[in-house]
């Protein structure tokens, strides 16, 4: 029996092609190990909010200050999302309307910068994000972006370089946070540098916000003027974004989200964010976050034992970046070999990568999904051996798939809800 609500029968009747897409996607995730670091499985409660009639309501503006009538009910959902986000993260202000992390960053820049202003951010090839100044992105086209990176010897952020660049270029905004950096970011040092040069500090913690919510890594909120995040990664909520900030810039942030960047918010997604924040406030979410990190370390350490070098020597978070050059296999080829073995991960550039971004010398792996499925460190050690076997010995793909299937018998998403 498929895991979908009471309306699924109607969908099958009215649009069997799309119904089959839903079923096939469920089969895909149930039939393989999901190691994409930026993905997770939401709770059934989050899915219920996403599939609700709140999707029908136009609600431009903010609670109590809408440009449409009939918003008194959806106002309650947004107020709950805001209050729960502020409580969860200890923030002075929260905006829960951004449709994505990229939308949140666009709004944050609009609140703090003018086109042509200088900002300092992490280089994409060293673990940063497209919206941190990539030349193919609006951030790189609209702003004068100075990039910092990691050291060649340690593969850790070079804080001395960050400070030197800040003193030389005097950026208006300093951005910290990454998408493929497995170590902790020292927000205190970034705060000191920002204060020294009179810059705003923007922390993009889309990847690690769930670990901060669970209290297993230091929070950016006490240090940054603005914190942008997504709700669909380790936080285990719906796809979407959010912004936390100080009272000083709250009005600027709200005006940047609406009306500058977005029109009507997606009220079903806002309600689902409220559900996710409420779930993250419960003690069991802290247990989950601790398990995510423990699993990532077990995965990373075992991959290292299998001859797959972790960038920076390990991980402090939910993800690991793996250098495959010693195996003579590119990231793209490793991704294909693992996919054939029912293991989903993504190729990823490593610092100072000699290969182009479409090929790469590395892969990125993460543990939010498998942890949600109930796996622990012992299972992740086995997963690591399966990844290594798939990458190193592609002719054993049938054997790896068999072992993957055995591991998933008791670790599949949503089956407990049938």
Task: Tell me, yes or no, whether 129 and 224 share the same domain.
Answer: yes
Q: Of these residues, 42, 230, 367, 372, which one is catalytic?
A: 230
Task: Tell me, yes or no, whether 218 and 317 share the same domain.
Answer: no
Q: Of these residues, 4, 30, 60, 192, which one is catalytic?
A: 60
Task: Tell me, yes or no, whether 101 and 226 share the same domain.
Answer: yes
Is 352 known to be catalytic? no
Task: Tell me, yes or no, whether 99 and 215 share the same domain.
Answer: yes
Whole-angstrom distance, CA of residue 387 vs CA of residue 334: 9
Residue 341: give the domain boundaries. 285-412
- Structural domain includes residue 154: yes
Query: For the residues of 326-376, what is the DSSP string, one character each?
Result: GGT--HHHHHHHHHHTTEE-EEE--TT-SS-TTT-SEEEEE-HHHHHTT--
Task: Tell me, yes or no, whether 145 and 187 share the same domain.
Answer: yes
Is 330 known to be catalytic? no
Q: Of these residues, 39, 155, 204, 316, which one is catalytic?
A: 204
Among 226, 259, 280, where does a domain finish? 280
What tens-digit pLDDT sequence spans the chain (418 residues)? 445 556 888 899 999 999 999 999 999 999 999 999 999 999 999 999 999 999 999 999 999 999 999 999 999 999 999 999 999 999 999 999 999 999 999 999 999 999 999 999 999 999 999 999 999 999 999 999 999 999 999 999 999 999 999 999 999 999 999 999 999 999 999 999 999 999 999 999 999 999 999 999 999 999 999 999 999 999 999 999 999 999 999 999 999 999 999 999 999 999 999 999 999 999 999 999 999 999 999 999 999 999 999 999 999 999 999 999 999 999 999 999 999 999 999 999 999 999 999 999 999 999 999 999 999 999 999 999 999 999 999 999 999 999 999 999 989 888 754 3
Beta bridge partners of 247: none
Task: Tell me, yes or no, whether 275 and 291 share the same domain.
Answer: no
Is 230 known to be catalytic? yes
Number of C-beta neighbours around residue 339 at 10 A: 14
Among 280, 301, 335, where does a domain finish? 280
Instruction: Give me the number of domains the chain comprises.
Output: 2
- Under DSSP, the state recorded for 256 is I
67-95 tens-digit pLDDT: 999 999 999 999 999 999 999 999 999 99
Is 65 known to be catalytic? no
Whole-angstrom distance, CA of residue 29 vs CA of residue 414: 10
Q: How many alpha carbons lie under 13 Å from residue 107 in its C-beta half-sphere?
A: 35
Nearest by Cα to 150 from 164, 160, 136, 138: 160
CATH number at 304 reads 3.90.1150.10
The two three-digit tokens of residue 102, written as one number: 């990229």
Query: Which residues are CB-neighbours of 30 under 8 A, at least 6 positions away?
Result: 408, 412, 413, 415
Is 287 known to be catalytic? no
Q: Is 93 annotated as a binding residue?
A: no
Helix (H) / strand (E) containing 245: strand 241-245
pTM: 0.96
Among 262, 280, 298, where does a domain finish? 280
Adjacency order of strands within the sheet including 173-176: 93-95, 241-245, 226-230, 200-204, 173-176, 118-122, 144-148
Q: Is 130 annotated as a binding residue?
A: yes
Q: Is 47 annotated as a binding residue?
A: no
245-266 tens-digit pLDDT: 999 999 999 999 999 999 999 9
Task: Tell me, yes or no, whether 232 and 354 share the same domain.
Answer: no
Q: Of these residues, 172, 239, 273, 337, which one is catalytic?
A: 239
CATH number at 123 reads 3.40.640.10
The two three-digit tokens of residue 356, written as one number: 């182009």
Is 297 known to be catalytic? no
Q: Of these residues, 84, 233, 297, 347, which one is catalytic?
A: 233
Q: Of these residues, 4, 30, 58, 399, which one is catalytic?
A: 58
Whole-angstrom distance, CA of residue 393 vs CA of residue 405: 18
Task: Tell me, yes or no, whether 70 and 99 share the same domain.
Answer: yes
- Structural domain includes residue 41: no
| b/e burial code for range 129-151 (CB count within 10 A of at least 16 → b) | bbbbbbeebbbbebbbbbbbbbe
């Amino acid at each position: 029996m498929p895991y979908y609500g009471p309306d699924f029968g109607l969908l099958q009747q009215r649009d069997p092609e799309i119904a089959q897409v839903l079923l096939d996607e469920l089969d895909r995730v149930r039939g393989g190990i999901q190691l994409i670091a930026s993905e997770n499985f939401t709770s059934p409660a989050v899915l219920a909010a996403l599939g609700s009639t709140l999707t029908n309501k136009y609600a431009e503006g903010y609670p109590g200050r809408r440009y449409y009538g009939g918003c008194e009910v959806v106002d309650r959902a947004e107020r709950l999302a805001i209050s729960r986000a502020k409580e969860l993260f200890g923030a002075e202000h929260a905006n829960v309307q951004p449709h994505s992390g990229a939308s949140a960053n666009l709004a944050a820049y609009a609140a703090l910068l003018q086109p042509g202003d200088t900002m300092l951010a992490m280089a994409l090839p060293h673990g940063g994000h497209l919206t941190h100044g990539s030349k193919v992105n609006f951030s790189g086209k609209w702003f004068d972006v100075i990039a910092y990176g990691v050291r060649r010897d340690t593969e850790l952020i070079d804080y001395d370089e960050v400070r030197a660049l800040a003193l030389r270029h005097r950026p208006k905004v300093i951005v910290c946070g990454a998408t493929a950096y497995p170590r902790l970011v020292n927000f205190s040092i970034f705060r000191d540098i920002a204060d020294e040069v009179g810059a705003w500090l923007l922390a993009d913690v889309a990847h690690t916000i769930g670990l901060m919510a669970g209290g297993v890594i230091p929070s950016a909120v006490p240090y940054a003027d603005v914190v942008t995040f997504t709700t669909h990664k380790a936080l285990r909520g719906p796809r979407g974004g959010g912004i936390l900030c100080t009272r000083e810039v709250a009005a600027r942030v709200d005006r940047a989200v609406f009306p500058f960047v977005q029109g009507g918010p997606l009220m079903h997604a806002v309600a689902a964010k409220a559900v996710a924040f409420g779930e993250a406030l419960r003690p069991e979410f802290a247990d989950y976050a601790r398990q995510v990190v423990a699993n990532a370390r077990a995965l990373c350490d075992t991959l290292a034992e299998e001859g797959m070098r972790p960038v920076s020597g390990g991980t402090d978070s939910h993800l690991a970046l793996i250098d495959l050059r010693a195996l003579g296999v590119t990231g793209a080829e490793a991704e294909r070999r693992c996919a054939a073995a029912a293991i989903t991960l993504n190729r990823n550039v490593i610092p100072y990568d000699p290969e182009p971004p479409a090929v790469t010398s590395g892969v990125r792996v993460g543990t939010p999904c498998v942890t949600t499925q109930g796996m622990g460190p012992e299972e992740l050690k086995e997963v690591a051996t399966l990844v290594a076997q798939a990458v190193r010995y592609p002719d054993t793909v049938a054997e790896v798939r068999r072992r993957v299937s055995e591991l998933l018998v008791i670790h599949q998403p949503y089956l407990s809800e049938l």
